Amino acid sequence: MIYWFMGFIYLGLLLFSFLFNSFLFIPFINLLYRWRFIRQKQITKDFQNKRAKIFDRFHAGKAGTPVGGGLLIVISILSFQFVLLPILKFYHHQGFKMAYPLVDETNVVFFTMISFGALGLYDDIMKFFGFSKTGFFGMRMRYKFILQWALAFIIAAMLYFNLGINFIYLPFYHSLQLGYTYIPLAATLIVWLANAFNITDGLDGLSSGLLLIFLFAFWIISYQAFDTFLGIFVALWIGAVMAFLYFNIFPARLTLGDIGALAFGATLAVIGLLMGKVVAMLIIGMIFNLEGLSSLLQILSKHWRHRKLFPVAPLHLWFQYRGWPETKIVMRAWIIGIFFALLGLWLSFA
């Protein structure tokens, strides 16, 4: 009976989040235009060089698209979750089962999404308004990377000390206790998935569609684990992403921006860590991992071998370079993403 009741609540919140965000996105897009929060043309002077030909051939037409859809999603789901917290606390005090202490779980999820979202928003502002040209701090890769690691270690410490998580589940083996080594492992996964998601966010509908698939898979896992907080949080998130995807499919009227990409990637990692389903998380997010790995190998090859491993990276840009239309790449990535989500789900129950 209780499973039926919670399923009813989750689905209701998902539908509410979808409808509410659907009505907000049109005025929000107009607001982004007024703020001039739009994608800039990345290469103008040196368009004839080889890199410019490869990249701008596929992406120059995206200039002028509003960026920052992730901001509305972050504000929306965190606001709704915050409003629902008193109800969750009431049921918690009545003996309603929770996977973790409610306050501690709320703190780690909220801190992850807000901190990485703030970092992404700052990066977006630097890019769009050119503050870095004035000699201000800017967001060079080394600084962004240092801040990501600092935030990731704080989050990993919260998981370890506040929630007492120091294990991961291995399929067909049950749990593996890691002790203090859990902290660097968790931090690495958070930084990895945040950047892998950000790299994947390059084609219309690609990252948001894969995000939707990932969230549905972990919604089932959280429901099975009876994690009420995550069940509600993911339901609100799914509804908001569904509304966003309507405007993000080709040709996109709105993109996530770094605020959404970094916040969502890091939070996905934290959800996987909260469930202990690290192996399932990496399999369900396989497309994110392949995109991130292709860019990492390209960077390492240029650094150590002084030549490229691929003509272009990440993976989706390589497929474009090979002549695949953008929509074909996205649709096939979704299909492959569904397969890996089902595989990850199967292994999560092993």
User: What is the structure's pLDDT at 135?
Assistant: 46
User: What is the structure's pLDDT at 95?
Assistant: 59
User: What is the structure's pLDDT at 94?
Assistant: 62
The H-assigned helical ranges of 158-310 are: 182-200, 206-224, 228-248, 257-275, 278-284, 286-304
**40 vs 229, higher pLDDT:** 229
- Asked if the peptide bond before residue 184 counts as cis, ω within 30 degrees of 0, the response is no
Instruction: Give the pLDDT band of residue 279 (cuts 50, 70, 90).
Output: very high
Could you give the number of structural domains in the chain? 1
Amino acid 259 reads I
User: Residue 128 above 90 pLDDT?
Assistant: no
**330 vs 92, higher pLDDT:** 330
User: What is the structure's pLDDT at 225?
Assistant: 85
Specify the residue for token string 């090859």.
301
CB 155 within 8 A of CB 111: yes
Range of the domain at 261: 2-348
Average pLDDT over residues 295-300: 94
Average pLDDT over residues 139-149: 86
CB 129 within 8 A of CB 67: no
Q: What is the mean pLDDT of the chain?
A: 90
Amino acid 9 reads I
User: Over the stretch 155-195, which tens digit does the pLDDT of each residue have?
Assistant: 999 999 999 999 999 998 888 999 999 999 999 999 999 99
Average pLDDT over residues 128-141: 58
Instruction: Give the pLDDT band of residue 62 (cuts 50, 70, 90).
Output: confident
Query: What's the CA gap between 188 and 168, in Å, rounded?
Result: 14
Amino acid 44 reads T
User: Residue 139 above 50 pLDDT?
Assistant: yes
pTM, two decimals, is: 0.94
Pairing of strands 167-170, 174-177: antiparallel
User: What is the structure's pLDDT at 114?
Assistant: 98
- Asked if the peptide bond before residue 314 counts as cis, ω within 30 degrees of 0, the response is yes
What's the number of CA atoms in the CB half-sphere (13 Å) around residue 297?
Answer: 13
